Amino acid sequence: MKKVKVGNIILGDKMPKICTSLIGKTREEIKNESEKISLMDIDIVEWRCDFFENILDIEKICETIKEIKLILNDKPLIFTIRSKEEGGEALINELDYMNIYKKICGEKLVDIIDVELRIGDKNINKLVSLAHDNDVKVIISKHDFEKTPDKEKMIEDLLEMQKLKADIPKLAVMPNSYLDVIKLLEVTAIMNEKYSDTPIITISMGEKGMISRISGQVFGSCLTFASGSKSSAPGQISVDDLHTSMNMINKYYKNNNIFEDLNIMLIGFMGTGKTSVSTKLSELLNMKIIDTDEYIESKENMKIDKIFSLYGEEYFRQCEKNALIELSKEKNTIISCGGGIILKDENIQIMKQQGIIILLTASAKNIYKRVKDSTTRPLLNNNMTIEHIDKLMESRKEKYLKAADIIINTDNKTIEEICNEIIEKI
């Protein structure tokens, strides 16, 4: 999932962040709420301006925002006008709605604006452009307080928000059964796994949908809303209860966040499947890939077999060491290593510091089948036989085993099966 930085908060990073809303009607009520919320263990605050008694007075809105920001100190602030059509309090015409948001963005008063998808592409494009010009992030949202639409419609809406350049698409729906809740969670997971151009917020409202408010880390929702002094939407739970529930999930839930500061290092003899496995793992774990051979070819501006023929194997091995040192700054990356990278002990030490080392193995017979038609294997080009492959593998076996944290045999397995085994063992 792509991450979005707002102030000192990163959305889409590790556990979902917690937001609570200011829903006072008067400036005095809002200030009192802000004082209470400033002491709570939350990450972001939303001002629901649709509750404000002076919603059509732009100057009073701006003054109130400044007061809120002063009280909240460095907590990011979301500005929201939730319309009656989407469960809010505001009866406001399009012109007033647009003028308020333009003023808020133009003066850089808040960190995030929440804009409803219903206002149309033309209006959204204007506000998104103005917001981004002034370093304000944009949530584009849609709320359905009557039902949970079908999966295709929900995905369509979220993708439309991404197309309109939302930093964070948001979808909140009302479940009429627990199957509706599961439907929303499935949509969240699909977006997270297949369309992860942005972080997203998804909520199944009401008591039935409560699980959606605490399980964002599992399914892929980056922000959850807790009740502050009062609840601003059906199904919200207290800040303390949210922390308790989410911390419990975080304690036991195992996902690819363990690689935020680490890498997966794939090693193994040529033809064991490192390239195919790294490609599939990248899709499953949303990690980028670097192939050390391709990295060296780019640096040297020539193919591996040419490096071997011009400068010899020892020169190439030094290139591998240099590549590992240069790649040591990489994080959350699958690094697919050349077959002989373990021949230097110092390379093993560098890899141990960079991440989890996974050794892919295969029989000499299967490796021969996979590489026999290749002309880019310098160490096999003049001796492409099962016997030579077996001898070369045996000479490296001790080094491979010394380096490996996890060993996966790839014989007679699909790429999907190999990747699932890797994830399970990690």
**394 contact partners, CB below 8 Å, separation of at least 6:** none
Work out the end-to-end distance of the chain between its first and last CA atoms, rounded to an integer number of angstroms: 20
Whole-Å CA distances, 346 to 145, 265, 329, 343? 60, 15, 17, 9
Phi-psi region of 317 (alpha: psi -120 to 50; beta: other; left: phi over 0): alpha
Token readout for 376 is 């880019």
Coarse DSSP helix, strand, coil percentages of the chain, rounded to the nearest 5 percent: 50, 20, 30
Residue 160 CA to residue 120 CA, distance in Å, equals 11
Tokens 């509706």 -> residue: 180
Partners of 18 in beta bridges: 224
Residue 281 CA to residue 305 CA, distance in Å, equals 27
Pair type for strands 9-11 and 4-6:
antiparallel
Buried-state track 328-355, b at ≥16 Cβ within 10 A, e below 16: eeeebbbbbbbbbbbebeebbebbeebb
Token readout for 291 is 């192939």
User: In this structure, are residues 12 and 204 in contact, taking their beta carbons and an 8 Å threshold?
Assistant: no
Residue 272 CA to residue 105 CA, distance in Å, equals 54
Catalytic residue among 137, 143, 208, 280: 143
The verdict on whether 388 is a catalytic residue reads no
Pair type for strands 17-22 and 223-227:
parallel
Residue 15: strand, helix, or coil: coil
Catalytic residue among 137, 170, 183, 274: 170
Question: Which H or E run contains 80?
Answer: strand 77-80
Residue 409 CA to residue 19 CA, distance in Å, equals 46
Q: How many C-beta neighbours within 10 Å does residue 72 have?
A: 19
Q: How many C-beta neighbours within 10 Å does residue 283 have?
A: 12
Partners of 115 in beta bridges: 140
The verdict on whether 143 is a catalytic residue reads yes
Distance of CA 361 to the CA centre of its chain: 31
| Active site members | 143, 170
